Structure formats: C-alpha cells, structure tokens
A and B are shown apart, each in its own frame.
Chain A
Amino acid sequence: MTMFHLALIALVLSAISILALCAGDPKRRRTAGDMSGGMTPARRRSLAAVSCIPGLVCALLGDAAAFLMWLGGCALVGWACAAFFRPRSSGGQGTH
C-alpha cells in the first residue's frame, strides 16, 4: 500500500466517524430546532476515539506524511461537515 492509499483510506474512515459525530451532535441539533437530544456523551466520546484510530495507525506505521495528511484532511472534513449541516434559513443573519 502506498503512502497516498494509506492517507486516503485513513481519511475516509475518520471522515465517516466525523460525519456521524456531526449528525448526532446535540448542540447542533438543538440550534436546528431538533430537541430529540442527539448522541449521548459516552457514544460521542467513543466515536471521537474511533475517528482517531486511523491516524494512530499511520503514526505507528511510521508514515509521517500520511499522518500529517490525515490530520489536515480531518480538519477540513470536520469544518465542511459543520458548514454542510448548518441549519437552513430564509433570510441571512449575521454579517455579509
């Protein structure tokens, strides 16, 4: 497996966990008007730990390049998830 494959696979696996965390995030759901409560703290912590495993594997394999790309990619995925799952509204609030 090349470094690129390792980095991409690690990123995709973590992205699934991050997506699940975002979908079940209690505060995000509350602000979107969904009072169902979202994920329990224990489940969130487990999922957060699971999302770190692919990066840990990259680090343990000594693949520094894959680890850094995984870390940076996760940051972008997380931000994108937050933006994508932002509650829709009819008019713009905030600035610009």
Chain B
Amino acid sequence: MTGGSRTLKDAVNEALRHWSSDFETTHYLLGSALGPSPYPDMVRYFQSVIGQEVAEQIEERSLDVEAMIACVGGGSNAIGFFEPFLERSSPRLIGVEAGGRGRQTGEHAARMNGAGELGILQGYKSLFLLDSDGQVQPTHSISAGLDYPGIGPQLAHLGATGRVEFLSASDEQALDALKFFARNEGVLFALESAHAGAAALELAPQLSPDRTLIVNMSGRGEKDLFLTAPAFKGEQWRNFLYQEAQSHE
C-alpha cells in the first residue's frame, strides 16, 4: 500500500476503486464485518463458527463465564465470537478498541464511547473518526488490523444498545499483555488480539477465582515479529538482523 495514509482504510479505498472500474469481471470480497450490505451479515455468519465452538465448550466444561473479550478493528472476529450470545443477556460481551498512544493524544483508533461520529464511508453507515467537516481523521495503532477509522455497523449498534461494552487498550498495554501471555501461557498473541488480552488482565483481578473470562485469540503473533522484537529486544534484534544480512552477502 503506497497511497494515502498507507493503512487499512487506504487499502479498502484502492480495492473499491479497482472493483468499481472492473466489476464486470471482478468480485469484491471483504474480510471484515463492514462495507455495503450484505457483507457485514455474510462475514458475521462465516465468523460465527468461532462463537459456536465457544458455546459448545462452555457447555462441555460447565463454565461460569463472566465475560467474553475480543479486539475490534472493523470487528469481524468480535462479531463472530459474540454471535451466538447476542440474544442472551449474559455473559458480558466486551470489545476492545485500539487506544494507540492514548485517547487524549488523538493518536488512536477508538471509535466507541463518544469519539466516533455518524458517517457514510466505503459503502456503509456507522461510526467513524471524523473532524467537524466529515473528513476522516488519521488513526494510529501498533496493530495494523485495528488501525482503521470505522467500526462495523452492527457492533456500533450493539454498543448503543449496551449489549456489547467497549474498552480500549493502548499500544503499550497490548505489548505488555502479549509479553504476559507469552511468558505465563506460552501463547503468542497477534498484536490485535493482545488488546483483548490486555482488557482481560485488567478485569481478572476484580473477579472471584471460579469465574471465567474467555479471550478470543483471533490471530497469532508470528506475523508481528518485526514490530514486537524491536519493541522488546531492540539491540539484540538489530544485531541479529545485521548478522543475518551479513551471512547472506
């Protein structure tokens, strides 16, 4: 991606441009729960396999679930994870947005809890980070998948009704959570999913030990090595890359 702000939003614009000039021979397939109808419904339906499996496992293990937690960029993993539980009143469903460098800095991608405004972009109507004219605001997140100014319309609605609660986690909190789960659980969260992990770490101390939190680890962290390695082990990583480069000369 070389155009615009070089984020997910610009990639979607470019895909839409390509499609609108080649629609006779091209299908537009969208991987997130947003865009024009019926994409949000289709994506929720396909992603709901995650939630169905969770529902089965809750039953099998007779878990007493306090909350289910998922990160929300466009919201595909979250809506699929929540889907079988939307019509129930429990457990709590929690979406975690990218708090970036902190909401007060403006460098984030958290649209719920007051920051987002009603708009129409990329073929759908929902909440977006906009200025007073309706120009789309730049976003920031350490995770590419959450670095997006809009949220899936159904999640925005579920936020308004209160069925889904929204929190945000900063870049730093996501990295801390990633480190915590790698050390203690031996799993490497994608930076996106680590935002959900961060919210779980915040909530867990408030709960009694017999209550359960379910975190959707929607992606694996190997893809983020070039972001996480320099963040955690800057000098060793640089030396390692340098030696690797030399060995290939």
A binds B: no
